[in-house]
């Protein structure tokens, strides 16, 4: 344990780091509530440190909110937190069914990062707490009281790829909604029409929610190798999922022959339906009745609405269409590397987690292998004996 003077000397050496105590707290200013002021300053410092790492605003806000909720639950400030507080907090949340495995592990990691920040001597928070309160914060998240990453997939078990029949049922329900709205002469025909094509586009290119809403008309690209698809030969995704403070990742998703039915639908949307919203010069591919870009929340609402009409399980969500796209590309026989590039995964292992090949597909592989082995002139392998 470092002596107070040693802590202060180490803190001085890192005083210019983003989030350091000397850059956040005003000198020679006495707070009416010193403990609350110190905690608020810690959060401000951590926010600055994360901003310097180019993390997204949402990531920072979510992490700060977690720390505030944890402090409220514990009823103490960071310099009095204990590992038992961590165990009690997550046990309470899990007992109420508020969290899933991946969320628990992620939040525990965020809390561990906050404790690592305020205990890092370079930022000076430990020395400041020791000087003002006679106590200093410690790391409260350890291997023995936090969740371990023991399985590759930690998502909800109900989230899966749709079968071909379920996918067709979903699309039929979306089309029926358009016809029903038109038949009853209700408002919203164009919106229902947009929603039907939008869901099909999410599947046909395996785009994430934010990737979908951020598409512009200019992102529809021609593919010289597939001129028959015109301006819908590929889709340029410019707002792919970022990682660890990196800018949004870009990728080009090619239109594959198995989903070429999407080409006339998008052309119809761009040429006939979209102008009905009077978007003017707005660049967005998917626009709203108010001539703005459609929102991420609206995508979820549309899927939920159509899913209910189709009578599909409530566990399925919009992201399941991405699972379905990946699974179907594999079943169509595309190489793993091609599938990985289409969906923008950095690692093939991530793509594998999204793959839910059907029993029929696996049976076809077995039948194909058996046919090759039984062809005349094929060398028969010796059966293994154990």
In the chain, what's the furthest Cα-to-Cα distance?
91
How far is it, in rounded angstroms, from Cα 267 to Cα 197?
A: 10
Q: What is the CA radius of gyration of the chain?
A: 27
Which of 1-10, 131-140, 202-211, 365-374 shows the lowest per-residue confidence on average (mean pLDDT)?
1-10
What is the percent of the chain where pLDDT is above 70?
A: 83
C-alpha separations of 239 from 17, 231, 300, 316 in Å: 30, 20, 18, 24
**3-class SS string, 309-345:** HHCCCCCCCCCHHHHHHHHHHHHHCCCHHHHHHHHCC
53: which residues sit within 8 A by CB, 6+ positions away? 244, 245
Nearest to 328 by CA among 313, 343, 314: 343
Residue 252: its pLDDT value, please?
A: 96
How far is it, in rounded angstroms, from Cα 90 to Cα 104?
A: 7
Provide the CB-side half-sphere exposure for 132 (13 A, CA).
Answer: 22
Residue 380: its pLDDT value, please?
A: 47
How far is it, in rounded angstroms, from Cα 356 to Cα 322?
A: 11
Residue 345: its pLDDT value, please?
A: 86
Residue 9: its pLDDT value, please?
A: 52
> Mean of the pLDDT values across residues 125-143?
95
pLDDT of 13 strictly over 60:
no
Contact 202, 212 (CB under 8 A): yes
Residue 256 DSSP label: P
Residue 362: its pLDDT value, please?
A: 62
pLDDT per position as a tens digit, 38-76: 999 999 999 999 999 988 898 999 999 999 999 999 999
Domain ranges for the chain, please list them: 4-133, 164-369
Which of 5-14, 216-225, 237-246 shows the lowest per-residue confidence on average (mean pLDDT)?
5-14
**CB 191: neighbour CB atoms within 10 A?**
20
Provide the CB-side half-sphere exposure for 36 (13 A, CA).
Answer: 4
The mean pLDDT of the chain is: 87
How far is it, in rounded angstroms, from Cα 254 to Cα 334?
A: 12
Provide the CB-side half-sphere exposure for 24 (13 A, CA).
Answer: 23
Residue 25: its pLDDT value, please?
A: 87
Residue 31: its pLDDT value, please?
A: 79
pLDDT of 246 strictly over 60:
yes
Contact 150, 139 (CB under 8 A): no
Residue 134: its pLDDT value, please?
A: 95
pLDDT per position as a tens digit, 146-157: 987 544 444 556
How far is it, in rounded angstroms, from Cα 241 to Cα 136?
A: 38
Which structure tokens are listed for 351?
Answer: 């793509």
Contact 203, 181 (CB under 8 A): no
Residue 7: its pLDDT value, please?
A: 47
Which neighbouring-strand residues pair with 251?
Answer: 237
Bigger pLDDT: 174 vs 32: 174
pLDDT per position as a tens digit, 96-119: 876 777 788 899 999 999 999 999
275: which residues sit within 8 A by CB, 6+ positions away? none
Bigger pLDDT: 301 vs 368: 301
Give pTM, 2 decimals. Answer: 0.72
**Residue 386's pLDDT band (cuts 50, 70, 90):** very low
Provide the CB-side half-sphere exposure for 304 (13 A, CA).
Answer: 8
Three-state DSSP class for 251? strand
Residue 185: its pLDDT value, please?
A: 80
pLDDT per position as a tens digit, 364-381: 666 666 676 676 655 544
- Domain at 164-369, CATH class: mainly alpha
> Mean of the pLDDT values across residues 128-139?
95
**CB 78: neighbour CB atoms within 10 A?**
27
């Amino acid at each position: 344990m470092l002596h107070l003077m040693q802590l202060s000397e180490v803190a001085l050496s890192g005083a210019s780091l983003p989030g350091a105590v000397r850059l956040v707290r005003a000198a020679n200013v006495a707070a009416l509530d010193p403990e609350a002021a110190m905690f608020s300053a810690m959060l401000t410092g951590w926010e600055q440190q994360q901003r310097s790492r180019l993390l997204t605003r949402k990531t920072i806000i979510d992490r700060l909110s977690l720390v505030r909720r944890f402090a409220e639950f514990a009823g103490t400030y960071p310099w009095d937190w204990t590992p038992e507080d961590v165990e009690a907090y997550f046990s309470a949340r899990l007992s109420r069914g508020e969290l899933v495995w991946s969320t628990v592990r992620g939040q525990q990691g965020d809390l561990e990062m906050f404790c690592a920040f305020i205990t890092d001597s370079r930022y000076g928070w430990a020395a400041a707490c020791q000087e003002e309160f006679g106590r200093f914060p410690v790391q409260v998240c350890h291997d023995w009281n936090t969740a371990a990453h023991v399985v590759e997939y930690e998502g909800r078990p109900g989230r899966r790829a749709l079968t071909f029949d379920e996918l067709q049922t979903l699309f039929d329900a979306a089309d029926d909604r358009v016809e029903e709205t038109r038949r009853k002469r209700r408002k919203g025909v164009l919106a229902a029409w947009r929603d039907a094509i939008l869901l099909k586009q999410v599947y046909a290119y395996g785009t994430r929610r934010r990737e979908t809403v951020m598409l512009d008309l200019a992102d529809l690209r021609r593919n010289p190798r597939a001129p028959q698809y015109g301006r819908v030969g590929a889709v340029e995704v410019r707002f792919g999922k970022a990682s660890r403070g990196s800018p949004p990742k870009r990728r080009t998703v090619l239109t594959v022959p198995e989903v070429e039915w999407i080409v006339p639908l998008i052309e119809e949307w761009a040429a006939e339906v979209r102008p009905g919203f009077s978007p003017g010069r707005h660049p967005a591919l998917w626009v709203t009745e108010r001539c703005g870009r459609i929102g991420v929340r609206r995508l979820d609402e549309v899927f939920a609405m159509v899913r209910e009409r189709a009578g599909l399980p409530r566990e399925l969500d919009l992201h399941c269409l991405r699972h379905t796209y990946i699974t179907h590309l594999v079943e169509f026989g595309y190489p793993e590397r091609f599938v990985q590039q289409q969906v923008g995964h950095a690692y093939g292992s991530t793509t594998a987690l999204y793959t839910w090949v059907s029993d029929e597909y696996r049976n076809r592989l077995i039948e194909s292998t058996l046919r090759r082995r039984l062809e005349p002139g094929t060398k028969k392998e010796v059966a293994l004996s154990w």
